[in-house]
């Protein structure tokens, strides 16, 4: 099977409040997206890398790829308004190829490690759909419509989602095919699409890492600088 890492970088980073999308901000002298691409570039189980980016920033990604010498980046695609549009762009780019796995990863999670990717690739080799998550250390409240506590789910069954999320191209293509026929379909992460539209497809959990943070707010940049030094 051909394992393709799909780096989802279509966001514009409005919550960060920066003049550039957050994936282009720098940690330890390199852009966040460069850190993320580099991790998959180094992994021997990754055959190819595809970057999905807003059309305004294609040239920026091309420059980063050229300067860093990322030989595995074979496609740079334009995303859309929603995260699901970026996933669909990658699915469309690979749907005619045989025996392809798509490994979707947020460009702004630059600290995913080789061990996590090892586990994801191993699960894919067994024909599994895969999500990365870590156990919740906090009690979670489920609220009702008036913002009062309705229930307290058992913490043993609660995990916090990270990325990558990985599927055979055939599986994720089928899930989105069904989703797009649903007039009530709302953008979700890829696991949510598979869970809703292919409910018989088990999604296996690979344990993530507390360091595999998502750079969302300005204060996360400082956390990232500290993680680089570890």
As a whole number of angstroms, the distance between CA 87 and CA 93 comes to: 10
What is the residue-level pLDDT of the chain in tens, covering all 230 positions? 999 999 999 866 555 555 678 899 999 899 999 999 999 999 999 999 999 999 999 999 999 999 999 999 999 999 888 889 999 999 999 999 999 999 999 999 999 999 999 999 999 999 999 999 999 999 999 999 999 999 999 998 999 999 999 999 999 999 999 999 999 998 879 999 999 999 999 999 999 999 999 998 777 777 787 787 55
| pLDDT score at 17 | 52
Can you give the CATH number for the domain in which 100 is found? 3.90.550.10
Q: Judge contact between 10 and 50, C-beta under 8 A.
A: no
Answer whether residue 104 is part of any domain. Answer: yes
| pLDDT score at 126 | 96
How confident is the model over 119-170, as pLDDT tens digits? 999 999 999 999 999 999 999 999 999 999 999 999 989 999 999 999 999 9
Q: pTM of the prediction?
A: 0.93
Answer whether residue 147 is part of any domain. Answer: no
Before 44, cis peptide (omega within 30)?
A: no
As a whole number of angstroms, the distance between CA 17 and CA 143 comes to: 30
Mapping DSSP to helix (H, G, I), strand (E, B) and coil, where does residue 142 land? strand
Q: Judge contact between 22 and 64, C-beta under 8 A.
A: no
Phi and psi torsions of 110, nearest 5°:
-80, 5
Answer whether residue 137 is part of any domain. Answer: no
Alpha carbon 28 to its chain's center: 22
**13 φψ region: left (φ > 0), alpha (ψ -120 to 50), beta (else):** left
| pLDDT score at 199 | 96
Inter-helix orientation angle 32-42/114-125, to 10°: 50
| pLDDT score at 19 | 60
Domain count for the chain? 1
Answer whether residue 112 is part of any domain. Answer: yes
Residue 114 sits at the vertex; the CA angle it makes with 209 and 3, to the nearest 5 degrees, is 115
Q: At a CB cut-off of 8 Å and minimum separation 6, what does 12 contact?
A: 21, 54
Answer whether residue 196 is part of any domain. Answer: no
Specify the DSSP element, H or E, that contains 117.
helix 114-125
Buried/exposed 67-84: b ≥16 CB within 10 Å, e otherwise:
eeebebbeebbebbeebb
Note down the domain range covering 121: 2-131+161-169+202-228
Answer whether residue 177 is part of any domain. Answer: no
As a whole number of angstroms, the distance between CA 152 and CA 138 comes to: 11
Answer whether residue 175 is part of any domain. Answer: no
Residue 130 sits at the vertex; the CA angle it makes with 69 and 12, to the nearest 5 degrees, is 55
Answer whether residue 216 is part of any domain. Answer: yes
Mapping DSSP to helix (H, G, I), strand (E, B) and coil, where does residue 150 land? strand
């Amino acid at each position: 099977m051909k394992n393709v890492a799909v780096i989802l970088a279509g966001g514009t980073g409005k919550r960060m409040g920066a003049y550039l999308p957050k994936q282009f901000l720098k940690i330890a002298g390199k852009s966040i997206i460069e850190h993320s691409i580099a991790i998959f570039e180094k992994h021997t189980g990754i055959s190819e890398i595809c970057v999905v980016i807003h059309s305004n920033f294609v040239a920026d990604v091309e420059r980063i790829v050229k300067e860093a010498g990322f030989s595995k980046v074979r496609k740079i695609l334009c995303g859309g308004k929603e995260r699901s549009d970026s996933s669909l762009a990658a699915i469309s780019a690979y749907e005619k190829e045989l025996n392809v796995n798509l490994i979707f990863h947020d460009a702004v999670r630059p600290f995913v490690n080789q061990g996590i990717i090892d586990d994801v690739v191993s699960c894919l080799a067994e024909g599994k759909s895969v999500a990365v998550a870590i156990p919740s250390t906090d009690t979670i409240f489920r609220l009702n419509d008036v913002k009062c506590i309705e229930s307290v789910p058992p913490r043993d069954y609660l995990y916090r989602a990270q990325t990558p999320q990985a599927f055979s191209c055939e599986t994720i293509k089928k899930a989105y095919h069904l989703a797009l026929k649903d007039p009530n379909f709302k953008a979700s992460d890829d696991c949510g699409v598979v869970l809703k539209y292919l409910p018989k497809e088990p999604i296996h959990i690979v344990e993530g890492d507390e360091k595999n943070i998502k750079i969302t707010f300005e204060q996360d940049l400082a956390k990232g600088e500290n993680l680089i030094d570890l």
